[in-house]
Amino acid sequence: MATATNEMRELGAEELVARLRESKEELFNLRFQMATGQMDNNRRLRTVRHDIARIYTVMRERELGLSTGPDGSTDTEEGAA
């Protein structure tokens, strides 16, 4: 699910929130796998963390009005996470 920041900027607010929720769930599962010794791909943990940071960055840019969503809106849902 690794995506570029530009691709994240093209998503709507609801899609960003959904993507954030999915990434957080995946991060939880990866951490659980790491703790139990079932982790196959250690790099995936870092990739998911970076994806979450990208999503938060895009949401913050819109909140500050530095960029707009695909529909021209600058707001995101508050308390999404």
For residue 59, with 0-12 CB atoms within 10 Å meaning exposed, 13-18 middle and 19 or more buried, which class applies? buried
Higher per-residue pLDDT: 72 or 80: 72
Question: What pLDDT digit, counting tens, does each position of 2-19 carry?
Answer: 568 888 889 899 999 999
Q: Span 5-64: which CATH code?
A: 1.10.287.310
CA–CA separation, 59 and 49 (whole Å): 16
Q: What is the CA radius of gyration of the chain?
A: 14
pLDDT band at 70 (very low <50, low <70, confident <90, very high): confident
CA–CA separation, 64 and 9 (whole Å): 14
For residue 44, the model assigns a pLDDT of 94
Domain extent listing, the chain: 5-64
Question: What pLDDT digit, counting tens, does each position of 41-69 carry?
Answer: 899 999 999 999 999 999 999 999 887 76
Angle between helices 42-64 and 13-36 in degrees, nearest 10:
150
For residue 3, the model assigns a pLDDT of 65
